[in-house]
Amino acid sequence: MHIDDIDTPALVLDLDVCERNIQRFQSFFDEHGVGFRPHIKTHKIPELARWQVDAGAMGITCQKLGEVEVMADAGLDNILLYYNIVGEPKLERLCRLSQRCDLTVTADSPVVTDAMGTAAVKQGAVINVLAELGSFNDRTGVPSVPDLVELGRHIDRTAGLNLRGMATYPTGRQNADRVAEAVQAFDRAGLNREIVSGGGTPTASEVDSIDGLTEHRAGTYIFMDRQCIDRGVAAEADCALQVLTTVVSNPVPHRAIIDGGTKTFSADGDMPRGMVLDFPGAEIYQTNEEHGFLDIGKCDPRPSIGDRIRVIPNHVCVTVNLHNQVYGCRGNEVERVWPVAARGLVQ
Amino acid sequence: MHIDDIDTPALVLDLDVCERNIQRFQSFFDEHGVGFRPHIKTHKIPELARWQVDAGAMGITCQKLGEVEVMADAGLDNILLYYNIVGEPKLERLCRLSQRCDLTVTADSPVVTDAMGTAAVKQGAVINVLAELGSFNDRTGVPSVPDLVELGRHIDRTAGLNLRGMATYPTGRQNADRVAEAVQAFDRAGLNREIVSGGGTPTASEVDSIDGLTEHRAGTYIFMDRQCIDRGVAAEADCALQVLTTVVSNPVPHRAIIDGGTKTFSADGDMPRGMVLDFPGAEIYQTNEEHGFLDIGKCDPRPSIGDRIRVIPNHVCVTVNLHNQVYGCRGNEVERVWPVAARGLVQ
């Protein structure tokens, strides 16, 4: 199948660029002696996870139980589930997964780990746990290093749980001291920290600044996107995944409408909604559900109805999550069509 | 199945409220003698489309060919596809659909209708077309009434096409004069305008102000959402669809994290990201992919880990589009679990 035979809108993945991103990040972490654990939330495709592992990744990261199930079913192993797992149905699934693959999960509260331990004992499982330290994003994770040590001790003495270390997100120069402090505190407390896990694509290059880090997680790097370009961590040529669209309307000379809107790109990120390729000067200044509004006043030549336009999305992780499939292309040939296998498994 | 047995995050639909919305809008249009053609882009579920038709809707509206195919397969008929259909693969599908159901499509350019006519003649089909007039949203549609008449004449003399009238979006008091002018111009030109189709949920109540309108399209009304509340067209009690979430983290007293973010709610609309029920004063002030950040500083009592929290999404159409299924509930009982059948059929 030729790339021109893909109907639009569609996600088109340049496999050469994708492989280069996989290799480049893996080589970087190999050089720095830090394990690399790619986050599959970006692509949700088992075969791409396999490519990452084959390139040298120590394992993978997931954000949802449903993602872990899809990946484990496909034979992936050594999985970190970076999420507090809450509620009996999920804890049962977590136990079952723990019995069939090498799985570790993060937790930031004894309320979470107590329920986890109870479920593990009941099901005869042992759940590997990392205590989660809060970071400068003020999301999950205990707020201080003393809290982390207390949580670590709590996990350590909870039946059914196996404390393996700690994790935080994101990591970079900004919180290097804090991570180092946590590592020392775990050592002083005699707590296992065989895993010290950091994360983030934009801060991946700062991994050297963090003493004690055993592994780093990153997701977006495999595809890159406009936000990565804006943050200076990717060039346009590093963006492997593009939204292929068609101009469907051109009602006035300066405005074209493409067949992709918030149900194709998502509404993530600031305007413009992605970076328009093929027609320099064209900019998506607005999106409705199935319409992208292009200002083409500065284009020469201007696109017209039927023209195909590729767009680098603002935030590729949420874009992929909207689609049922990705067309993997080598040059102009479609080499693979992958279902986004773990999409929609929100629980 | 009890509503408490639904794992989170999940879309929970109050069937009583949904039925009331369907009845209320249908009654309104019945009273005003204007046909009602619900837009299924909001729910993408054939059985809900059937409910809308059974309540008295003249037919349905779709935005994508894939949606039409799913609805036609489920036995729905009298379908308006409000979108410029461009490109041979889609035109072939459009012809096939035209041969198996009562389908009408909009178009805003002779470039679009010429290709449509060629495809229709080739496949021995006749495609019903509405000429699309631009509106105050500056999206698709020809920019003026004279342009509309010219397009109407063009469609009228194109082999394979059957001009049925005109359509525009949105319609309300703001463009009532323009629609009336277009209707008169079509009459003067001797062009068929058996269908004059307007649309929009927020402006549905203004349907009386538009002379010549034969039908109105609305989608969001079936579920309503926070944006409808903000625009004054819905009360909280009219919002039939809620995102059911669980508090998974509570790292500091004023912040709780729920298991829903941009992959569950979408990033549409201004902050806060939806309207939090159950815990008055709680507000979603930020979302990551799988995390919703709740400010619970003003709550009394405050939610804690494991508590379930229902959220009315900002924009329900894009929220539903993220999920594989909807749990239809009557009181606390789950009565139906519907796959979002036309989701992901972006082409």
pLDDT of res. A127? 98
ipTM higher than the 0.90 cut: yes
Q: At what angle are helices B110-123 and B145-156 packed, to 10 degrees?
A: 20
Which residues in chain B touch residue A337, judged by CB atoms under 8 angstroms apart?
none
Q: Nearest by CB to B251, which of A83, A86, A140?
A: A140
Whether B14 contacts B240, CB under 8 Å: yes
Residue of chain A with shortest Cα separation from B6:
A89
Are A109 and B251 within 8 A, CB to CB? yes
pTM > 0.90: yes
Q: Is the peptide bond before A301 cis (omega within 30 degrees of 0)?
A: yes
HEC profile of chain B: CEHHHCCCCEEEEEHHHHHHHHHHHHHHHHHCCCEECCEHHHCCCHHHHHHHHHCCCCCEEECCHHHHHHHHHCCCCCEEECCCCCCHHHHHHHHHHHHHCCEEEEECCHHHHHHHHHHHHHHCCCEEEEEEECCCCCCCCECCHHHHHHHHHHHHCCCCEEEEEEEECCCCHHHHHHHHHHHHHHHHCCCCCCEEEEECCCCHHHHHHCCCCCEEECCHHHCCCHHHHHCCCCCHHHCCEEEEEEEEEEEECCEEEECCCHHHHCCCCCCCCCEECCCCCCEEEEECCCCEEEECCCCCCCCCCCCEEEEECCCHHHHHCCCCEEEEEECCEEEEEEECCCCCCCC
Report the residue of B245, B255, B263 to disrupt the A interface, i.e. the one with the largest count of A CBs within 10 Å. Answer: B263
- Residue B40 tokens read as 């299924």
Quote the tokens at residue B246. Answer: 């669980």
Q: Looking at the partner chain, which of B142, B257, B262 has a beta carbon nearest the beta carbon of A140?
A: B257
Q: What is the pLDDT of residues A181-194, one digit of tens each?
A: 999 999 999 999 99
Going from the C-alpha of A74 to that of each of A19, A35, A47, A81, B3, the distances in angstroms are 20, 22, 8, 16, 32
- Burial track A264-295 (b if 16+ CB lie within 10 A, e otherwise): bbbbbbeebbbbbeebeebbbebbbbbbbbbb
Chain A residues close to B170, C-beta within 8 Å: none
Only one residue has tokens 């009941």, namely: A122
- List the single residue in B with minimal CA-CA distance to A151: B251
Give the pLDDT confidence of A234-243 residue by residue, as tens digits. Answer: 999 999 999 9
Report the pLDDT averaged over residues A115-126.
98
Does B304 sit within 8 Å of A112, measured CB to CB?
Answer: no
Q: Give the best residue of B113, B140, B217 to mutate against chain A (max A CB count within 10 A).
A: B140
Per-residue pLDDT tens for A24-58? Answer: 999 999 999 999 999 999 999 999 999 999 999 99
Is residue A79 within 8 A of residue A54, CB to CB? The reply is: no
Closest-CA distance, A324 to chain B, in angstroms, reads 6
| Pairing label, strands A292-295, A283-287 | antiparallel
Residue with tokens 């309307």: A249
User: For each of chain B's 347 residues, which pLDDT tens digit applies?
Assistant: 999 999 999 999 999 999 999 999 999 999 999 999 999 999 999 999 999 999 999 999 999 999 999 999 999 999 999 999 999 999 999 999 999 999 999 999 999 999 999 999 999 999 999 999 999 999 999 999 999 999 999 999 999 999 999 999 999 999 999 999 999 999 999 999 999 999 999 999 999 899 999 999 999 999 999 999 999 999 999 999 999 999 999 999 999 999 999 999 999 988 899 999 999 999 999 999 999 999 999 999 999 999 999 999 999 999 999 999 999 999 999 999 999 999 999 88
For residue A339, what is the nearest residue in chain B, using CA coordinates?
A: B344
Q: What span, in angstroms and rounded, lies between the C-alpha atoms of B139 and B142?
A: 9
Chain B hits for A318, CB-CB cut-off 8 Å, are 262-263, 267, 289
Rounded distance, CA A237 to CA A242, Å?
11
DSSP 3-state of A175:
helix
**Cβ atoms of A249 and A284 closer than 8 Å:** no
* Facing residue for B266 by CB, picked from A90, A266, A317: A266
Give chain A positions within 8 Å (CB) of B108.
249, 251
Are A322 and B324 a contacting pair at CB < 8 A? Answer: no
| CB atoms B87 and A267 under 8 Å | no
CB pairs under 8 A between A and B: 171
CA dist A129 to A194, B198, B324, Å? 11, 57, 30
DSSP state letter for A36? E
| A263: nearest CB among B248, B290, B321 | B321
